[in-house]
Structures are given as C-alpha cells and as structure tokens.
Structure 1
Amino acid sequence: MEGDLKIFILSIFIKHKRIERSFDDCSRCIDSSRLAKHNIIAVGINTYLAVVEWDGLDDEHVIIVPTQHCSSSIQLDENVWDEMRLWRKGLVALWKEQGKDCVFFEMARHVDSNPHLYVECVPLEQEIGDMAPIHFKKAINECEGEYMDNKKLIETKDLRRQIPKGFSYFAVDFGLSNGYAHVIESHDHFPATFATEIIAGMLDLPPKKWRKRETDEMSKQKSRAEKFKQLWEPFDWTKRLRSQEGPSTSSGSSTSSRRE
C-alpha cells in the first residue's frame, strides 16, 4: 500500500514538472520570451490575435490565442470563451466586407501534453466557403477507420457541453454558424494537417502549403502583420478597452499597453 502511494505521488510530481516545462517552453503565452510579438495584431483582456509565423493558406491566415496557458477551448473560463468569440465576429465582418466567407478550426491534439491552444482562421471566397461544410463533413465521416468508441461526426451547438474535458478533438466552424467536431481516438490516424489539407484542396494549393509548417522569413512575417493591422483597424474592438483605460494610456499600437 505504501509503495502504491509513493508511485502515485511520484506520478503526480512528474506530471506537474512536465506541465511546468510546457509553460516555460511555450511560444504562445503572452509573457513568454519565445512569443513572436511582431506577429501580434491586437491584444484583448484575456486573448490576442496574430498572423501565423509560417507560410499560411492565405496572407490573412490568423490565429486567436488565449494569453494564459490552456490546452483546449472546452477548458476555457466563460469570459475567455466569450472574448475569443469577439475576435471571430470582427474577422467575419472584415472578410464579409471583402465579399468573403471564412472557417475557424481548432486542432486540440495530445491535450494530456498540455499544448497551448489556438484557433486558426482562414478566409475563403464565398463560393468555396459555401462548399466547406460538405468537404469537412465527408472527411470527418471517413476518418480514423470504421470502429470507434465515439460518434465520428458531432454537429456542434455548444462545444463545451459536447466534448468531455481531457479529450483530444478537432472542431471547425463556418463563419458564425455552427460547425462540426470529432473526438480524436487515434492520433496516428488523425493527422495534425487534417484541416489544412482539406482547405488547401479546396483552394487548389500545392502540398507544401499544408504538409510542413516552417517558420517564414522575419521580413515576410512582419510584412503580413503590418498589412493585416491596417485591414483590422476598422474592426478592432480592443480600441474600446484602451479608451476606457483613460488618457494616461500610451497612444501606441494596439498591442503596446497589454504586452509591457
């Protein structure tokens, strides 16, 4: 009995140290020295918006990220969940003005390893966006083989109540409409590139666009960020936060007051 207790305590200690290391090494936490701050477009209270550091599926391929470490959306506090929704609404409005649709997707793989979640956001031409639900539904229904413990395709209404905490999953939404989710039972049979391969196929992009995410040249990253900041400015809901902070707040970029 005493030996079992020692093993249990040791396992808890090892898990705690692993989580600590994931925090220290994280490149998404807002206070991390590894965060690519030049890619940040704007920062809210609990979340931020950034362009991707790799060669994305589109020059406006962006991510919504909680400032504090969390491994999946279903683990978020209510206020953080709601704030992430604000970014989505702004992006939908931005791309609608361009005559475009969009998809939002989260790949919550290996959640037991405590990765830092982010939701990817990709604009699509309207006619392609109209077909996106069909493509994703078909791909999810065909994934991971025939025998599974969980239902393959979940039509989402409230993701947090449909996926148990601690489970790995994939989720996709189409604009502000509901979408689909899938509980990942075998990571070997559900690749990290699942969503990007589908979207790249819809956009007729070459395999290099989705097979491997290599960090892009710094100059290209900065150029994408500056261009997107200009596009985002009319839809930047974080400006209201800065106006509420009073005249003592510096009038710099939309990220300055939150990152110092």
Structure 2
Amino acid sequence: MGRFVVLIEFKEFSMDEWSEKGCAYGGALGAERIQKHKRIERSFDDCSRCIDSSRLAKHNIIAVGINTYLAVVEWDGLDDEHLIIVPTQHCSSSIQLDENVWDEMRLWRKGLVALWKEQNRDCIFFEMSRHVDSNPHVYIECVPLEQEIGDMAPIYFKKAINECEGEYMDNKKLIETKDLRRQIPKGFSYFAVDFGLSNGYAHVIESHDHFPATFATEIIAGMLDLPPKKWRKRETDEMSKQKSRAEKFKQLWEPYDWTKRLKNSEATSSAGSSSSSSSKR
C-alpha cells in the first residue's frame, strides 16, 4: 500500500488574527482558549487588589507580610473594623493558593482573633469565590461581632446554607470544613465561612443566579440589625473616612503586628552581613 505525504503550509498570525481565525485553524476549542487567555490578562491589568497595581487603595493597607497584606475595606463596611486579608499576587481562590501563602493568611486571622478577644468580641471570616473562570482576586473578609452574636453565627449560617439554591443539587449543600483546600475541588465557585479559629462551613455554588454575592453580608447585617444599605450595594466610601478607619485600626493592630518581627529579623540579618563583610576586609 502506498504512503500519502501531506504537506501543510504554516503561516504566522498575530494574536488578534489567530483569535479571529481560531475556529477555522484551531477549532472552536482553540478560539475559546485564546479568549480565556485574553480575559485572564485583562483581569490582571484591571485588578485593584494586586500589590503592584496602580489601582490599589494603598491608604487602606494596615500592614504587608511576605505574600499577603491586611487592609480595611474601601466601602462602608458592616463595622468600622471590617477588614480583608489579601494575597499580594493574583489568585482566584484560597484553594489555589500555595501552602506558604495560605499559612500566612492564617497568621492574620490569629492576630485578629487575639485583638478582638481583648475587646470582648468574637469574629467571623468568609470568602465568596464566585465566577472563578473570570479570574477574580481572592480575599478573605473579616468582621468582628459581639460575643453573644458570634456564639449564634454558626446557627444562622448553617440554616441559610441548607436553605439556599433550591432543593436539588449535584453537590452536598453544607460542607463542614476541616481542611477547605482538600474539600473543594479546584475550579469550582464556592462560599466558605469560619467562626474565629474554629472550623466552619462551605458551599459549592452551582447557580450564581440563586446564590447572591451578598449572601454573607446579608446574614451578618441581619444578625447586627443593620439597614439594607449596609449590604445591598458596596459603594466606595469617602477618602477621608477610609483613611480615618485605616489610621485608627493601625494603632489597634500595632501590638499584634507580626510583620514587625519580619522587618526586625531582616534588619538584623542585613546588619550581620555588613559586619561580616567589613571584618573580611
């Protein structure tokens, strides 16, 4: 049987040309991948959470660690000490973070729990990881609560999660989290909540239309008896109010600021290196 030799003529295309001709040359899947890549690039360019972004509200930052930072929210939060813990580099969910970044985020939580305990307050941490395919920048929200309200928070959230998204779902509605990063598959949208340093709950979001972005804030606002404007729409607050909240919390945070130990350690290490270099001369 004879052999057939197929000659294929290759032609160089720009990214725009390739995206237009993707269906013809690479198939629908190729064009889809190119569009997804472009969306991801745009998400980096437009991100207001990345530490190097020109859009980052640096005046709201309380402290910066190695891979993460702590900041007050730029909107009128559920409390004057409503905060966010954010990885410095772009990542769309906690379950995709490297282990060292995840561990560092836990350090902020421990410090905040200790701070609010001194105020006789409890606290809640939650993550709303929606539309992960559009590559948002993940952050953990931190809200202090009066002790008696904090004691009731698990009951409120358990009930709300069990009643969300209708009756029939492919995934279990309520996941009692012991290790979130091993309980939720990567690439899934989800909601997760922890109560202080205790284990919490998670929920895989199957329908974004039936699981609102305001799910957690609406529950907390109800517990705190706050008006709907506190959770319905997050509008950027006046700059003066943002700065005032940040300055006040910086003073509160100072005794718990573990990043100062890092800076002192770096300074000591640098001084030791300089001394060693001088002695060799």
TM-score (norm 2): 0.86
Return the match for 1:243 from 264, 272, 280: 264
Partner of 1:146: 167
Q: Superposition pairs for residues 1-260 of structure 1, below 5 Å? A: 3=24, 5-246=26-267
Q: Report % sequence identity.
A: 89
| 1:144-163 Cα shifts (integer Å, max 9, x gaps) | 00010000000000001110
Instruction: In structure 1, give the amino acid aligned to 2:49.
Output: R
Q: Distance in 1 between matches of 2:26 and 2:233?
A: 43
Q: Distance in 1 between matches of 2:209 and 2:35?
A: 25
**1:3 Cα deviation after fit:** 4.7
- One-letter identity of the residue aligned with 1:41: I
Q: For the residues of structure 1 that align with 2:24 and 2:75, how far apart are their CA atoms? A: 48
Distance 1:22 1:51 in 2: 22
Name the residue aligned to 2:15: none
**3-state SS in 1 of match to 2:267:** coil
Q: Deviations over 1:75-98 (max 9, x none)?
A: 000000000000000000000000
Cα distance in 1 between the residues matched to 2:159 and 2:269: 53
CA deviations on 1:174-229 (whole Å, 9 max, x unpaired) are: 00000000000000000000000000000000000000000000000000000000
Return the alpha-carbon distance in structure 1 between the equivalents of residues 32 and 232 of structure 2.
35
Report Cα offsets for 1:31-80 as digits up to 9, x if no partner. Answer: 00000000000000000000000000000000000000000000000000
Q: Distance in 2 between matches of 1:113 and 1:93?
A: 35
In structure 2, give the amino acid aligned to 1:177: S
- What 5-or-longer segments of structure 1 have no aligned partner? 250-260
Could you say what secondary structure the match of 1:151 adopts? Answer: coil
CA distance in 1, matches of 2:25, 2:144: 53
Aligned-residue Cα RMSD (Å) equals 1.3
Larger radius of gyration: 2
Higher relative contact order, structure no. (Cα contacts within 8 Å, ≥ 6 residues apart): 1
- Specify the code of the residue in structure 2 equivalent to 1:94: L
Determine helix, strand or coil for the equivalent of 1:246. helix
Q: Secondary structure at the match of 1:122?
A: strand
Tell me the amino acid that sits aligned with residue 141 of structure 2: E
- Over residues 217-257 of structure 1, what are the superposed CA-to-partner deviations in whole Å (9 max), with x where a residue is unaligned? 000000000000000000000001111121699xxxxxxxx
- Read off the aligned partner of 1:238 and give its amino acid letter: T
User: Deviation string for 1:5-31 (max 9, x for gaps)?
Assistant: 343322221111110000000000000
